[in-house]
Amino acid sequence: MARRILIGIAGGSGSGKTLVARTILRELGSDRVVVIDQDSYYKDLDDIPHLDRDSRNFDHPDAFDADLLKRHVRDLLEGHAVEQPIYDYAQHRRLAETRTIGDHVVIVLEGILIFVDPELRAMMDIKLFVDADPDVRFIRRLKRDLVERGRSIDSIIRQYEESVRPMHLQFVDPTKRYADLIIPEGGHNRVAIDVLKTMIRELLRERGVETVAAG
């Protein structure tokens, strides 16, 4: 089989990366597409006292297990299954169980810092940067962390001020220059999504893979 296709979706926290990834998954089909979340590859902090975990900088490139992520991406591109870590955001540690990911034609990797590593960027066939205004990103993050991750408002604001915003300015936003396509409004931008689908179908045709029906 021809080499699989890797699509990288970067952007700030709360920019709408996940919606873009889910839109690709829905419109191209889950039998062809798998979504990999960089957040699953946070380093395991199980050996660090629980009270010290909240103070760690989770928006710095060093917070991620880059070697494991790159190894898994290579394996998936070669058609091999991987055991993806499952990260517990409340406890800041990896769970004992893993998620088995098998062979798919299109692999979508999404995360705030996936464009930082040149080796990882070089594996990508298409690089997208999802852009959104800072206030929109903060509100989305606030809602998500309150509902999905059980955080307090004070802790969310403190983390945003101390690490999320400065790390976005230092590491995330500068990687916009590596993008093949910048998508304002994320998955709600139908023109950008349609352009992306056309790009994917062209790659599939080039590699001799049957094209997917229009979504």
Q: Where are the domains of the chain?
A: 5-206
- Residue type at position 73: V
Q: Convert the pLDDT of each residue in 163-207 to its tens digit.
A: 999 999 999 999 999 999 999 877 788 898 889 889 988 888 887
Average pLDDT, the chain: 89
Is 212's pLDDT higher than 50?
A: no
Confidence of residue 210 (pLDDT cuts 50, 70, 90): low
Which CATH architecture fits 5-206? 3-Layer(aba) Sandwich (3.40)
Q: Which two tokens stand for residue 55?
A: 């103070």
